[in-house]
């Protein structure tokens, strides 16, 4: 792997504002081409992640509560980005352009791959057949109560208890 860093050196101009004085290209691993060392690729990738994943947008409520969930979402994003999504400049998926796979995966293939991986890690412990609940109580639906003011024989808003009719909603109940 060839990897290099771009180290920016800051200073101040005549008006006291902070500016970049120079940018030093430093090879870190391997033998990178010095002309190709830049930050534009990683900045573009950061923008893509912020735009396509809700967890990276500013001022959002789409955060991950656990680091494991966050890492899983980032992995799924990059799997989709590199193996499924057809890029406009390449006219295919980056994994196909790099020769890793022969054709781009479909979203269904990606989900099947994810389900297969997840079933190995977290097997589902379900019984072979389900028993219905035997002691469930059933309730007969009741007709809605009629308000006292719609029934002329209801006896008024607050009649004595021995004169009340069933099925009438009185004002004091």
* pLDDT tens per residue, range 74-94: 888 999 999 999 999 999 999
Instruction: Give CA–CA dist 41/3, Å, rounded.
Output: 13
Q: What pLDDT score does 101 carry?
A: 93
Boundaries of every domain in the chain: 63-123
Q: What pLDDT score does 166 carry?
A: 81
Helices (H) and strands (E) in the chain, counts: 4, 4
* pLDDT tens per residue, range 7-58: 999 999 999 899 999 999 999 999 989 888 888 888 888 888 888 887 877 6
Percent of the chain with pLDDT over 70: 88
Which of 6, 57, 2 is closest to 31 using CA atoms? 2
Backbone angles phi, psi at 5, to 5 degrees: -120, 150
Q: Mean of the per-residue pLDDT values for the chain?
A: 84
């Amino acid at each position: 792997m060839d990897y290099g860093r771009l180290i920016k050196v800051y200073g101040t101009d005549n008006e006291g504002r902070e500016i970049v004085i120079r940018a030093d290209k430093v090879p870190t691993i391997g033998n990178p081409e010095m002309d190709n060392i830049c930050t534009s690729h990683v900045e573009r990738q950061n923008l893509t992640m912020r735009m396509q994943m809700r967890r990276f947008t500013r001022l959002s409520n789409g955060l991950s509560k656990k680091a494991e969930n966050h890492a899983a979402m980032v992995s799924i994003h990059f799997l989709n980005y590199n193996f499924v999504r057809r890029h406009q400049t390449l006219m295919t998926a980056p994994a196909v352009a790099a020769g890793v796979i022969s054709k781009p995966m479909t979203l269904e293939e990606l989900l099947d791959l994810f389900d297969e991986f997840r079933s190995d890690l977290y097997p589902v412990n379900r019984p072979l057949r389900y028993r219905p609940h035997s002691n469930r109580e059933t309730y007969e639906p009741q007709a809605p109560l009629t308000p006292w003011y719609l029934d002329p024989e209801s006896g008024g808003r607050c009649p004595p208890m021995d004169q009340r009719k069933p099925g009438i909603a009185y004002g004091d109940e």
